[in-house]
């Protein structure tokens, strides 16, 4: 079963939003993206990459409220499960 | 009215990363023009440029800013940081809306934009970066500088090609005179990509010479075009009174006068308007032509434009009436960054009493009657005129007065 993991998210964030020193540990899952310096345009960029690379389509109304890595992981994995 | 002074400079140019390296190479007459390396120029009629080398964005900027910035935006961010540091200015210590930013750009983030357009047409719209929404835009350098340093005062951008550097500093001076505590102003400009390249080639004014020492020869009998380049400078502008109030008592010089004009359309009986820009800038500074010790010329390198500039300088200053120099022969023409860099170089010239040379020009046209400085010249300098013309008819002129601070009149 394909899931979108914390490592996948960390790699995506690095590529989209360029924070090489990001190290998403378990306790960072609750940290708001905004607090890590990722603004709304960064989230739109991530949405674009999720669609292009993973076939997961999230519109702005869905991705912007996913304010933490944990919520985004849940959202992406729910969407992937729902496609099956 | 209190003088508007320059308290900080940040330079990134083909002649060096940082003000000191740029000045050292400039005084030594070390040209930085060479074959284009940013892309393969082989298929084009012109293959030479003045490029910024040795700049690794990751060494200077947080990783988070890299995916969202064009190369020239990165240079702008670093130059702004250096200018603020040079001015000993700490934005959080100043009023929240106390510092603004005004830059100039010829084309915006073309390199970034070309890459995204290629993705659009080769892979489809879902592959276009969300950052394209602003990374291409002319005002993005102003915006990113403002965001990074929290500069929430009046912000703006000017798009007047090579005249832009002067126009941005002039706008900054208006803001300072209106009461803004300080302004970051100037330009870093250039489009090191095929799209930017062909846009410039389309003007028909880019040199086709293969030899870097023979390609860009302003005021020379063999002038046959210019060489493009990237880079420029940012300045910190504030009132002399404001500088003193925060404990700064020495500065590079004063922005003493400025004027801008626009040429009549082709075929008009009216003359080009450069002469009027120069005369109005002098009047704005309250100076006579005889008060100017050196002119940093626009130096188009295209014969009819050289002729027009020489005529304007001759009309204002008299035959061989003032030393004229074109240090951009060492860097190429940097768009809006070119005139901003000329301002920085002129301020350093005033400070050090050194006129940097016009390089490679071996046969100045005798009929232009210019005292063209082809070898570095040392003499006391108190006031400089910087001239810049932009494609399409822009003419701007700015008068700088040298001075080290509290020994000067206010």
Task: Give me the residue spans of the domains in chain A.
Answer: 6-82
Quick one: average pLDDT of B16-30?
A: 98
For residue B408, the model assigns a pLDDT of 44
**Tens digits of per-residue pLDDT, B104-121?**
999 999 999 999 999 999
Asked whether the predicted pLDDT for residue B94 surpasses 90, the reply is no
Quick one: average pLDDT of B134-160?
A: 97
pLDDT band at B410 (very low <50, low <70, confident <90, very high): very low
* Distance from the A82 Cα atom to the nearest Cα atom in chain B, whole angstroms: 21
Averaged confidence pLDDT in chain B:
96
Q: Which residues in chain A touch residue B129, judged by CB atoms under 8 angstroms apart?
A: 45, 48
| One fold for B4-245 and B257-402 | yes
In terms of DSSP bridges, do strands B383-390 and B294-296 run parallel, antiparallel, or are they unpaired? parallel
Q: Which residue of A has its CA nearest to B129?
A: A45
Quick one: average pLDDT of B73-93?
A: 96
Cα(B246)–Cα(B243) distance, rounded to whole angstroms? 5
A79 CB-near residues (< 8 Å, 6+ apart): A56, A57, A58
B316 CB-near residues (< 8 Å, 6+ apart): B275, B278, B279, B282, B289
Burial class (CB in 10 A: 0-12, 13-18, 19+), B245: exposed
Does B147 lie at the interface with A, CB-CB under 8 angstroms?
no
CATH 1.10.1200.10 fits A6-82, yes or no: yes
In terms of DSSP bridges, do strands B99-104 and B155-158 run parallel, antiparallel, or are they unpaired? parallel
Interface test with B, best of A11, A46, A48 (most B CBs within 10 A): A48
Cα(B363)–Cα(B372) distance, rounded to whole angstroms? 10
Fold of B4-245: Peroxisomal Thiolase; Chain A, domain 1 (3.40.47)
Query: Rounded to whole angstroms, what are the CA distances from A32 to A14, A23, A37, B192?
Result: 16, 14, 9, 37
Of the candidates B63, B127, B133, the beta carbon closest to that of A19 is on B63
pTM of the model: 0.95
Q: Judge: B130–A17 Cβ closer than 8 Å, yes or no.
A: no
Proportion of chain B above pLDDT 90, given as a percent: 94
For residue A21, the model assigns a pLDDT of 53
Interface test with A, best of B66, B123, B130 (most A CBs within 10 A): B130
Cα(A75)–Cα(A84) distance, rounded to whole angstroms? 15
Of the candidates B66, B126, B134, the beta carbon closest to that of A48 is on B126
> Residue B152, Cα to own-chain centre: how many angstroms?
24
Of the candidates A14, A19, A41, the beta carbon closest to that of B131 is on A41
Sole residue written with tokens 């860009």: B216
* Distance from the A36 Cα atom to the nearest Cα atom in chain B, whole angstroms: 10
Query: Rounded to whole angstroms, what are the CA distances from B1 to B69, B126, B360, B370, B383?
Result: 39, 55, 43, 35, 19
For residue B403, the model assigns a pLDDT of 74
Task: Give me the residue spans of the domains in chain B.
Answer: 4-245, 257-402
Q: Are B200 and B243 in contact (CB under 8 A)?
A: no
Cross-strand partners of B255: B400
Q: Judge: A37–B64 Cβ closer than 8 Å, yes or no.
A: yes
DSSP per-residue letters across B312-363: HHHHHH-TT-SEEE-GGGGT-B-THHHHHHHHHHHHHHHHHTEE----S--S
Residues B345-359: b if buried by 16+ CB within 10 A, e if exposed:
bbbbbbbeebbbbbb
A40 CB-near residues (< 8 Å, 6+ apart): A64
Cα(B201)–Cα(B395) distance, rounded to whole angstroms? 21
Quick one: average pLDDT of B124-138?
A: 94
pLDDT band at A83 (very low <50, low <70, confident <90, very high): low
Cα(B284)–Cα(B399) distance, rounded to whole angstroms? 9
Q: Which range among A21-35, B261-275, B300-314 shows the weakest confidence by mean pLDDT?
A: A21-35
Among B140, B255, B254, smallest CA distance to B188 is for: B140
Q: For chain B, how are helix, strand and coil distributed in percent, rounded to 5? A: 35, 20, 40
Quick one: average pLDDT of B82-89?
A: 98
For residue A39, the model assigns a pLDDT of 87
B243 CB-near residues (< 8 Å, 6+ apart): B5, B7, B249, B251, B405
Asked whether the predicted pLDDT for residue A53 surpasses 90, the reply is no
Compute how many other C-beta atoms are within 10 angstroms of the C-beta atom of residue B154. 17
Quick one: average pLDDT of B176-180?
A: 96
**Tens digits of per-residue pLDDT, B331-366?**
999 999 999 999 999 999 999 999 999 999 999 999
Asked whether the predicted pLDDT for residue B407 surpasses 50, the reply is no
Cα(B356)–Cα(B366) distance, rounded to whole angstroms? 21
B75 CB-near residues (< 8 Å, 6+ apart): B12, B52, B55, B188, B230, B231, B232
Q: Judge: B66–A21 Cβ closer than 8 Å, yes or no.
A: no
Does B119 lie at the interface with A, CB-CB under 8 angstroms?
no
Of the candidates B64, B127, B128, the beta carbon closest to that of A17 is on B64
Asked whether the predicted pLDDT for residue A22 surpasses 60, the reply is no
Chain A 39-78, residues with CB within 8 Å of chain B CB atoms: 41-42, 44-45, 47-48, 51-52
Among B14, B4, B3, smallest CA distance to B345 is for: B14
> For the structural domain made of B257-402, what CATH number should be given?
3.40.47.10
Q: Which two tokens stand for residue B64?
A: 């988070």
* ipTM for the predicted complex: 0.87
- Gyration radius of chain A's alpha carbons: 12
Q: Judge: B63–A16 Cβ closer than 8 Å, yes or no.
A: no
Is residue B291 classed as helix, strand or coil in its secondary structure? helix
For residue B243, the model assigns a pLDDT of 95
Is residue B63 classed as helix, strand or coil in its secondary structure? helix
């Amino acid at each position: 079963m394909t899931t979108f993991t914390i490592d996948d998210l960390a790699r995506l964030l690095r590529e989209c939003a360029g924070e090489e020193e990001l190290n998403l540990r378990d306790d960072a899952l609750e940290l708001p993206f905004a607090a890590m310096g990722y603004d709304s345009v960064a989230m739109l960029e991530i949405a674009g990459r999720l669609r292009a690379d993973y076939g997961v389509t999230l519109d702005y109304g869905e991705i912007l409220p996913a304010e933490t890595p944990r919520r985004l992981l849940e959202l992406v994995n729910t969407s992937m499960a729902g496609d099956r | 009215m209190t003088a508007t002074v320059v308290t900080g400079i940040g330079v990134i140019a083909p002649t060096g990363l940082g003000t000191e390296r740029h000045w050292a190479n400039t005084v030594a007459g070390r040209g930085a023009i060479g074959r284009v390396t940013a892309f393969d120029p082989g298929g084009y009629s012109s293959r030479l440029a003045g490029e910024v080398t040795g700049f690794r964005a990751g060494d200077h900027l947080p990783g988070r800013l890299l995916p969202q910035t064009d190369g020239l935006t990165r240079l702008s961010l670093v130059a702004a940081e250096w200018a603020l540091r040079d001015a000993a200015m700490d934005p959080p210590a100043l009023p929240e809306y106390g510092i603004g930013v005004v830059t100039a750009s010829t084309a915006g983030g073309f390199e970034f934009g070309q890459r995204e357009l290629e993705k659009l047409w080769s892979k489809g719209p879902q592959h276009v970066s969300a950052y394209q929404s602003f990374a291409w835009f002319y005002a993005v350098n102003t915006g990113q500088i403002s965001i990074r340093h929290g500069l929430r005062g009046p912000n703006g951008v000017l798009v007047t090609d090579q005249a832009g550097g002067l126009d941005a500093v002039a706008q900054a001076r208006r803001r300072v005179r209106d009461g803004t505590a300080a302004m970051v102003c100037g330009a870093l400009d250039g489009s090191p990509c095929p799209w930017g390249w062909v846009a410039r080639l389309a003007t028909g004014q880019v040199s086709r010479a293969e030899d870097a020492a023979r390609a860009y020869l302003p005021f020379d009998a063999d002038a046959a075009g210019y060489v493009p380049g990237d880079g420029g400078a940012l300045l910190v502008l504030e009132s002399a009174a404001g500088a003193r109030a925060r404990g700064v008592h020495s500065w590079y010089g004063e922005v003493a006068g400025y004027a801008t004009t626009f040429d009549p359309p082709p075929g008009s009986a009216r003359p080009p308007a450069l002469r009027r820009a120069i005369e109005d800038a002098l009047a704005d500074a309250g100076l006579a032509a005889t008060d100017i010790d050196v002119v940093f010329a626009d130096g188009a390198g295209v014969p009819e434009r050289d002729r027009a500039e020489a005529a304007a300088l001759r009309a204002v200053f008299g035959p061989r009436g003032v030393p004229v120099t074109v240090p951009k022969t060492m860097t190429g023409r940097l768009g809006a960054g070119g005139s901003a860099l000329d301002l920085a170089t002129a301020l350093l010239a005033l400070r050090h009493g050194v006129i940097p040379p016009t390089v490679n020009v071996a046969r100045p046209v005798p009929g232009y009657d210019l005292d063209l400085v082809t070898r570095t010249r040392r003499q006391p300098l108190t006031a400089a005129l910087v001239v810049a013309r932009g494609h399409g008819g822009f003419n701007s002129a700015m008068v700088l007065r040298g001075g080290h601070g509290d020994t000067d009149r206010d």
